[in-house]
Amino acid sequence: MTIKEAEQMIIDAYSNYSLPEENKFQLIEALEFLIEATHDPVHMMHLGGIYYEDRYYDLALKYYEMAATYDHTEAYECLGYIWCYGRTGEVDYKKAFEYYSKAAERGDTVAAYKVADMYKNGYYVEKDYNKYCEMIEKLYPKVTGTNLTDSEPVPEICLRLSVIRREQGRTEDAIRLLFEAREYLEEVLTYNPFWGNLRNMEWLIHDLYELIDCDMTDLGLFDLYYVLSKPCKVTFKQDDEKYEVESVEEDGRIVVRFGDKWYRSVQEFFDNACIGDDRVATLAYDIYEMEVKR
């Protein structure tokens, strides 16, 4: 294998803007070759990210640490996540704070809001809610109005600032921030239905409908996080085909049926449900004529 061939294998693996399971082995093989041949931390981060998304955290840690030896800023951010959330079985807030801080000092806005979170929660550092609020306020102007190619944490910062605005009694601003986060996150999810992005969308939708009424005559795909939280049936169309999704209360919890498959929660539905080869979560712009039947 040559470097050029390995790079083409990566392009081919993502040829349909997704990563079918059968292509993953090809992708991993190509990245392993490129890491050995080039020692480029970008390839290390790419492979670590694949393992992180698949929740193979020990392998993710291996490649993030490898990239960090090359002083790669994003590697410090990702190592912060590993240790802050105990992904490999051990929480170490000291390491998390140090890694996040190192990345934040270099302008990494993801690491910066995670440092703020640590002040909010008192993880390793003394709890300081005012400092947390000040940090989030300063981050918002850096991310608002950016696009996907900038890879800024717009939804995460908007969500945090919306809570601050609610506490300040600035409800209209809070609502505006939630809509800003939703617009950005819907676009992200069309190509990256990462479970972390889906959790953010779930929290966002529930926060939004604590502040405004849900218009059942004008629903988007992710409004189903709210709508399906109670027993109902919902129909919608995609590519001129009609589909039905149903939520049912079973033993005190909501389960979801989509087609002939059952999911243990609304969350699991968004994590796994597909139409053909496409994850439902990637189809927000393609779904229309949504109707609710209680």
Are 148 and 253 members of one domain?
no
Domain-ending residue, one of 182, 199, 216: 216
Claim to verify: residue 82 and residue 136 sit in the same structural domain: yes
* Best CA proximity match to 273, nearest among 248, 245, 247: 245
**Listed range (32-36, 52-56, 240-244) with the worst mean pLDDT:** 52-56
263 forms beta bridges with 256
pLDDT of 17 reads 45
Q: Find the CATH number of the domain harbouring 134.
A: 1.25.40.10
Does 120 lie in the same domain as 57?
A: yes
Same domain, 149 and 229: no
Same-domain pairing of 157 and 246: no
Q: Of 138, 132, 186, 202, give the one whose Cα is nearest residue 163.
A: 132
Q: Using DSSP, state whether 73 is helix, strand or coil.
A: helix
Q: Do 36 and 151 fall within a single domain?
A: yes
Identify the pLDDT of residue 67.
Answer: 98
d(CA 93, CA 114): 11
d(Cα 221, Cα 180) in Å, to the nearest integer?
A: 16
Residue 43 scores a pLDDT above 70? yes
Amino acid found at 289: E
Among 199, 216, 233, where does a domain finish?
A: 216
Residue 222 and residue 218: Cα distance in Å, rounded?
A: 12
Our count of domains for the chain comes to 2
Question: Are 91 and 62 found together in one domain?
Answer: yes
- Within this chain, do residues 199 and 97 fall inside the same structural domain, yes or no? yes
Domain closes at, from 186, 216, 246: 216
What is the residue range of 279's domain? 217-294
194 and 221 belong to one structural domain: no
What does the pLDDT look like over 152-208, one tens digit per residue?
Answer: 999 999 999 999 999 999 999 999 999 999 999 999 999 889 888 999 999 999 999
Q: Is the pLDDT of residue 146 over 60?
A: yes
Quote the crossing angle between the two packed helices 57-68 and 73-84, to the nearest 10°: 140
Residue 69 backbone phi and psi in degrees, to 5: -65, -15
pLDDT number for residue 21: 62
pLDDT: is 1 or 136 the higher one?
136
Question: Per-residue pLDDT tens for 254-292?
Answer: 999 999 999 999 999 999 999 998 999 999 999 999 999
* Pair 166, 131 in one domain: yes
What sign results for the dihedral spanned by CA atoms 80, 201, 147, 12? positive
Same domain, 19 and 145: yes
Cβ atoms of residues 191 and 239 within 8 Å: no
Average pLDDT in the chain: 94
Answering whether pTM is above 0.75, one says yes
